[in-house]
Amino acid sequence: EQEVAEYRKSLAIRVSGFDVPRPVKTFEDCGFAPELMRAIAKQGYEKPTTIQCQALPIVLSGRDIIGIAKTGSGKTASFVLPMIVHIMDQPELQKEEGPIGVICAPTRELAHQIFLETKKFAKAYGIRASAVYGGMSKLDQFKELKAGCEIVIATPGRLIDMLKMKALTMMRATYLVLDEADRMFDLGFEPQIRSIVGQIRPDRQTLLFSATMPRKVEKLAREILSDPVRVTVGEVG
């Protein structure tokens, strides 16, 4: 405990919440399956970044999380890797329809980046990921979603459009990620986010990542997360 406290202090890491799982030092500590370990090695990721050391065991334990760390700190893998584990843990993967993992991001560029990162790790398992954002044909996206997928990575507006068109159902969704929550709010997506969250079962696992925590984002987090662990890395404005 003392050691963990010292380590966190030295890296400007602040963690709050009940019964917080201990941080990991290596990807091996995460207990990932060999396929996933190979995919991680293939990316050239030798060890988890600071936020990943804290966030991976928390998310892998099924807890909700608020992760606050600056751009470039490796937040994507801290939700993508546990999402793969979460999906592979589903007992009856084939029975229902619709995505299990739902990731919302503010812009099409970010959604696309997350999509690329996800594919690297999902491929080995035959897990299907779809990216859903403006600027692409709605009909093509509708068809792709209809064909089925386990992961959807979307901008909030286009995801709402697809839900209205019944291109997908949220029946199976149990893992929700709001990435760059502050930017989604800046872009006026709060109503869309609330609508999406409202369509996903309340016993889901919810992850919220942000570079900053303005009051409005804090309020949303309090409303939609259950007993979250908050991890902050570095100085945050």
- Which of 39, 59, 68, 77 touches ligand ADP by CB under 6 A? 77
Residues 109-148 that bind Mg ion (CB under 5 A): none
Q: Is 76 in the site for ligand ADP (CB under 6 A)?
A: yes
Closer to ligand ADP by CB, 67 or 99: give it.
67
60 binds, among ligand ADP, Mg ion, none (CB under 5 to 8 A by kind): none
Q: Is 75 in the site for Mg ion (CB under 5 A)?
A: yes
Q: Is 73 in the site for ligand ADP (CB under 6 A)?
A: yes
Measured distance CA(88)–CA(34) in Å, rounded: 13
Closer to ligand ADP by CB, 12 or 171: give it.
12
Please, what sign has the CA dihedral across residues 21, 116, 166, 135? positive
Contacts of 159 (CB under 8 A, 6+ apart): 102, 104, 132, 152, 192, 196
Q: How many residues bind ligand ADP (CB under 6 A)?
A: 12
Measured distance CA(168)–CA(190) in Å, rounded: 21
Q: Cα torsion for 160, 172, 231, 36, to the nearest 10°?
A: -120
Q: How many residues bind Mg ion (CB under 5 A)?
A: 1
Phi, psi of 85 (to 5 degrees): -60, -45
Half-sphere exposure of 204 (CA within 13 A, CB side): 27
Q: Is 158 in the site for Mg ion (CB under 5 A)?
A: no
Name the segment binding ligand ADP (CB under 6 A); options: 75-83, 97-105, 163-171, 187-195.
75-83
Report the alpha-carbon angle 97-194-158, nearest 5.
60
**Nearest Cα to Cα of residue 111 among 48, 177, 165:** 177
Using CB positions, name the residue nearest to ligand ADP.
76
Measured distance CA(108)–CA(15) in Å, rounded: 31
x/- site string to ligand ADP, residues 26 to 65, per CB under 6 A? -------------------x--xx--x-------------
Give the interface with Mg ion as residue ranges (CB under 5 A). 75
Give the interface with ligand ADP as residue ranges (CB under 6 A). 45, 48-49, 52, 69, 71-77
